[in-house]
Amino acid sequence: MRRSLTRAGSLAVVSMFALALATPAQAAQDSGAGANSVAAAYFEFTDGTDTFVFQLTDPARIRQARDILNGVDTENVGVMGTVVKSPASYNKPWKYHLAPNSVTFFGMAMEVCDASISYVNGHLGEVGGALLPRSTWCPWRSKLTREVSRP
């Protein structure tokens, strides 16, 4: 005899199946363990003059950053993200940091989001207006240099 699933029952089955297929980190997040279950990783990039450290918490982005460092990904190697106008303990001496969930990697980007690390620091009050609209920063000369441990 066949049983029919209710709509709620069907959703529960699909959710459990998706959870079973998720990576362990994703499963911990999805089951309510929260973002703290994913270990943050920290990476440094240079713009040719200065260095800047940013945090990643998304497992796929962490893997992508490691692939860039290992030479597996050679196309999307620039660092892009949303500027947060407050210092982060891991990114001294700069007065700003990148929102971890906004960081992506690019091969080409618009000129309007390009600026050096020190220029952004010196003109932080203008970020989000004429300088780096929407606070999106994509230093064209950015090059990932290494993974760092949290200071």
% the chain with pLDDT above 70? 74
What local confidence, expressed as pLDDT, does residue 108 receive?
85
Under the banding of pLDDT at 50, 70 and 90, the label for residue 16 is very low
Prior bond of 151 cis (ω within 30°): no
What local confidence, expressed as pLDDT, does residue 150 receive?
75
**Mean pLDDT on 96-103:** 97
Containing 13, the helix (H) or strand (E) segment is helix 7-21
Containing 143, the helix (H) or strand (E) segment is strand 143-148
**Which tops the pLDDT comparison, 30 or 37?**
37
**Which tops the pLDDT comparison, 18 or 100?**
100
What local confidence, expressed as pLDDT, does residue 12 receive?
35
| Local structure of residue 29 (DSSP, 8 states) | I
Q: Return the exposure string of 111-137: e unless at least 16 CB atoms fall within 10 Å of the residue's CB, then b.
A: eebbbbbeebbeebeebeeebbeebbb
pLDDT in tens, 37-46: 568 999 999 9
pLDDT in tens, 40-92: 999 999 999 999 999 999 999 999 999 999 999 999 999 999 999 999 999 99
Under the banding of pLDDT at 50, 70 and 90, the label for residue 148 is very high
Under the banding of pLDDT at 50, 70 and 90, the label for residue 27 is very low
Task: Domain ranges for the chain, please list them.
Answer: 7-37, 41-148
